[in-house]
């Protein structure tokens, strides 16, 4: 936009800014007065809060200073002092008006006591006019001055908030937050577009400010302002470059294009200057446009009129064409809508067909599954009926098997007692008199710890007997030894399959004889033998006191195994009976080959019991029978 020169000499450029006569750029509002609405309001500020209204006397009177005093009239003394240009300190600072007492003195003075002045006024000479001094205030300590300043400021500070009201609404449109203890308030910005067009499109608004001081308990209405957005006065984008003093209780409105206020006592932006050459003569000749410029302007006007006429003609032609083709356009539009409807219907039909096919497939799968379940239910019902028929006989067989198991266990316990008694007779372990925890096996002493004073051959023979007893007990009791023993008299060995550091088989085999062997390997072999004895004792529920006591631990184990009530049972069947028992789960028959009798009569009852158990097991073929067999195994 080109610049236009004004009559005052100022220049305006652009729409949003202007340059004043001093060459400074100032902001201009973007919104026209007729376009300002409530929706453009974004925030409100309050400056120079005042809770007390000025009295009429103070407003109408002059400013109280030294020139207002009757004693400040022009006198010869004052004129002399002014000629000398000597400045003196004024002892008055706030109110120099004449007090009532001085007025009485002045009124009671006669004309002889007065001095005439050059202006025809008189100056009183009697009576001393009181002046308020502030020297004490200026020389007071900082604490006192700070206290006076705080008291003066606290009377002007207040807690303030505002509310917005529109005509026709009982409730306020917006209520702001409360700002505490301030004179200049910058409230939080807000958005009024949420209240709808019935509120945001109005151009009038009522603002009510409520405040209270520290001594008050309730808020009081201190300012009620009715705002007409068309009559607002623009200030600028911000208050940084605005140096005009604001009046008391000045309300600043923050609109979307700048800050506005409602007072009208600001100075004019472009001051009017007097014409230095004086008024112009109305009859003097004035310059005007040339003939060529007027012709060009006339041609331009003709072109504009032709363009407007052409535009109207084209518009009428277009409207007539549209009216003629209205039916055709409606037909084309209806055809397009029908095509879209047919396409969507076809798509919906294909989707429904796919869903029907999927539902049919699902129905056939469910029917097949239901038929399979019915067949399974029929077969399960038939099996349950068959199992119910065998339930009574299975319970009877279970009772017989439990009683047979108890008899077998009691018989096995008795045989173990008898075998251990025989072992004590074959390898008697007797204590050495007058020595604590010292025992002999077959008359050969075996110390609890290796001692170099004993004969190595005697120690090796005793260890061989102890190793043989341990090996036989593991077989009779069906207990696996962690370290297998190879009994061979005084040349017995023991094997260590657990240690990881040993690589070869020869390194894992340790002798139980000290002769011709390394000492640490012999001692480790004795340790392994004691560990096997500890394993046998722990399986019988016996606690060991010391691992190094070989013969005492072995004697304690045999004593516990031979303990029991009643007489020892007789040997049944000799070697054949023991072999039969080993086939049924007991390893005793393979380990005691002394008796070579037939033993058929003695073993008859055991054979019959085993055959009876096999028959009962063969009968448990149904699901219920298998369940009974599982219960029987748990009892075993």
pLDDT in tens, 64-112: 555 545 555 566 666 666 665 555 544 444 444 545 544 444 454 444 4
pLDDT single digits (tens) 472-518: 999 988 899 999 999 998 999 999 998 888 888 888 999 998 888 88
Pick the CATH number of 411-630 from 3.90.870.40, 3.40.1350.10, 1.10.3720.10, 1.10.418.40: 1.10.418.40
Q: How many CB atoms lie under 10 A from the CB of residue 79?
A: 11
> CA-CA distance, 577 to 605, in Å (whole number)?
11
Q: Give the pLDDT score at 94.
A: 46
Q: Is 552 exposed, middle or buried (0-12, 13-18, 19+ CB in 10 A)?
A: buried
pLDDT exceeds cutoff 60 at 607: no
For the domain spanning 38-51+145-261, the CATH number is 2.60.40
Q: In this structure, what token pair is assigned to residue 231?
A: 């009559």
**Highest-pLDDT range among 47-56, 147-156, 460-469:** 460-469
Query: Would you say residue 372 has pLDDT above 90?
Result: yes
Main-chain dihedrals φ then ψ at residue 552, nearest 5 degrees: -60, -40
Reported as type and span, the H/E element at residue 329 is helix 326-426
* 342-351, 462-471, 511-520: the lowest-pLDDT one: 511-520
Residues 6+ apart with CB under 8 A from 100: none
Check: CB of residue 13 under 8 Å from CB of residue 177.
Answer: no
Among 117-131, 194-208, 447-461, 607-621, the range scoring the smallest mean pLDDT is 607-621
Q: What pLDDT band is residue 53 in, cutting at 50, 70 and 90?
A: low
| 180 against 112, higher pLDDT | 180
Where are the chain's structural domains?
Answer: 1-30, 38-51+145-261, 411-630
Q: How far apart are CA 336 and CA 573, in angstroms?
A: 109
Q: Averaged over 37-59, what is the pLDDT?
A: 77
- Average pLDDT across the chain, whole number: 75
Q: For the segment 380-403, what is each residue's pLDDT rounded down to a tens digit?
A: 999 998 888 888 888 888 888 898
427 neighbors 441 (Cβ within 8 angstroms) = yes
**CA 469, CA 424: separation in Å to the nearest integer?**
9
Provide the pLDDT for residue 236: 82
Distance CA 118, CA 131 (A): 26
Distance (Å) of CA 88 to CA 98, 174, 493, 617: 21, 58, 132, 139
Q: How confident is the model at residue 526, as a pLDDT?
A: 92
CA distance linking residue 222 with residue 249, whole number of Å? 9
Is residue 27 within 8 Å of residue 238, measured between CB atoms?
no
Tell me the C-alpha distance between 257 and 191, whole Å. 15
| Higher-scoring residue by pLDDT: 453, 322 | 322
Question: Phi and psi of 32, rounded to 5°?
Answer: -75, 155
| Helices 291-324, 326-426: crossing angle, 10 deg rounding | 70
The H or E element that residue 224 is part of is strand 220-228
Contact present, 259 and 239 (Cβ < 8 Å): yes
Distance, in Å, from the CA atom of 103 to the CA atom of 70, rounded to the nearest integer, reads 10
pLDDT of 290 above 90: no
**Model confidence at 41: pLDDT above 80:** yes
Task: Give the per-residue pLDDT at 263.
Answer: 61
Region at 318 (left for phi over 0; alpha for psi -120 to 50; beta for the rest): alpha
C-alpha to C-alpha distance for 101 and 130, rounded to whole angstroms: 9
From the centroid of its chain, how far is CA 438? 74
Contact predicate 223/209, CB 8 Å: yes
- Selection from 292, 14, 46 nearest residue 186 by Cα: 46
| Cβ atoms 625, 611 nearer than 8 A | no
| Res 563 pLDDT > 80 | yes
- For residue 277, pLDDT over 80 is answered with no
Residue 311: predicted pLDDT = 94
Residues written for the chain: 636
Partners of residue 486 on adjacent β-strands: 493
| pLDDT of 5 over the 60 cut | no
Q: Where are the alpha helices (DSSP H) in 129-186?
A: 135-138, 142-154
More confident residue, 204 or 130: 204
- Span 417-449, pLDDT tens digits: 888 888 888 999 999 988 888 899 998 998 887
CA distance 478 to 484: 13
- Give the integer Cα–Cα distance in Å for 18 and 255: 19
């Amino acid at each position: 936009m080109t610049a236009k020169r004004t009559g005052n000499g100022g220049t305006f450029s652009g729409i949003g800014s202007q340059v004043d006569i001093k060459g400074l750029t100032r902001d201009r509002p973007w919104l026209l007065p007729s376009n300002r609405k409530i929706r453009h309001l974004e925030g409100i500020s309050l400056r120079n809060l005042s809770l007390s209204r000025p009295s009429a006397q103070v407003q109408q009177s002059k400013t109280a200073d030294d020139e207002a005093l009757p004693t400040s009239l022009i006198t010869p003394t004052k004129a002399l002092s002014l000629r000398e240009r000597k400045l003196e300190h004024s002892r008055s600072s706030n109110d120099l008006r004449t007090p009532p007492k001085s007025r009485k003195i002045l009124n009671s003075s006669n004309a002889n006591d007065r001095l005439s002045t050059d202006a025809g006024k008189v100056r009183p000479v009697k009576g001393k006019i009181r002046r308020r001094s502030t020297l004490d205030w200026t020389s007071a300590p900082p604490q006192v001055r700070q206290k006076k300043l705080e008291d003066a400021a606290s009377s002007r500070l207040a807690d303030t908030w505002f509310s917005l009201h529109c005509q026709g609404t009982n409730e306020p449109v917006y209520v702001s937050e409360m700002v505490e203890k301030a004179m200049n308030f910058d409230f939080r910005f807000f958005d009024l577009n949420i209240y709808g067009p019935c509120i945001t499109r109005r151009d009038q608004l009522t603002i009510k400010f409520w405040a209270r001081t520290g001594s008050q308990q309730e808020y009081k209405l201190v300012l009620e302002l009715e705002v007409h957005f068309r009559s607002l006065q623009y200030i600028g984008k911000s208050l940084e470059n605005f140096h005009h003093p604001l009046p008391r209780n000045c309300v600043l409105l923050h609109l979307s294009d700048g800050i506005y206020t409602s007072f009208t006592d600001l100075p004019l932006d472009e001051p009017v200057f007097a014409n230095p050459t004086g008024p112009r003569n109305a009859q003097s000749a004035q310059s005007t446009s040339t003939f060529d410029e007027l012709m060009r302007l006339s041609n331009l006007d003709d072109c504009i009129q032709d363009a407007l006429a052409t535009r109207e003609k084209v518009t009428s032609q277009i409207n007539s064409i549209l009216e003629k083709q209205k039916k055709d356009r409606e037909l084309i539009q209806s055809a397009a809508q029908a095509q879209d409807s047919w396409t969507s219907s076809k798509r919906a039909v294909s989707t429904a067909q796919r869903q029907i096919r999927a539902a049919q497939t699902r129905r056939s799968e469910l029917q097949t599954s239901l038929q399979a379940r019915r067949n399974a239910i029929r077969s399960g019902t038939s099996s349950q009926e068959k199992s119910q028929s065998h339930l009574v006989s299975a319970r009877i067989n279970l009772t017989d098997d439990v009683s047979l198991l108890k008899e077998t266990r009691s018989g096995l316990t008795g045989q173990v007692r008898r075998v251990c008694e025989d072992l004590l007779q074959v390898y008697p372990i007797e204590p050495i008199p007058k020595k604590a925890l010292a025992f002999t096996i077959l008359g050969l002493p075996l110390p609890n710890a290796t001692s170099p004073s004993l004969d190595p051959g005697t120690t090796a023979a005793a260890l061989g007997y102890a190793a043989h007893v341990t090996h036989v007990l593991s077989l009779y009791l069906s207990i696996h030894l962690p370290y297998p023993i190879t009994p061979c008299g005084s040349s017995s060995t023991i094997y260590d399959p657990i240690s990881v550091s040993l690589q070869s088989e020869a390194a894992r085999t340790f002798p139980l004889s000290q002769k011709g062997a390394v000492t640490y390997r012999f001692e480790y072999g004795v340790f392994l033998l004691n560990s096997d004895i500890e394993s046998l004792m722990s399986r019988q529920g016996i606690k060991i006191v010391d691992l190094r006591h070989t013969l005492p631990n072995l004697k304690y184990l045999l004593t516990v195994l031979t303990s029991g009530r009643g007489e020892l049972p007789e040997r049944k069947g000799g070697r054949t009976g023991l072999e039969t028992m080993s086939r049924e789960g007991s390893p005793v028959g393979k380990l005691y080959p002394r008796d070579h009798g037939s033993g058929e009569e003695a073993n008859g009852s055991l054979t019959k019991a085993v055959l009876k158990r096999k028959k009962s097991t063969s009968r448990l073929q149904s699901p219920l029978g298998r369940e009974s067999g599982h219960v029987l195994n748990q009892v075993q």
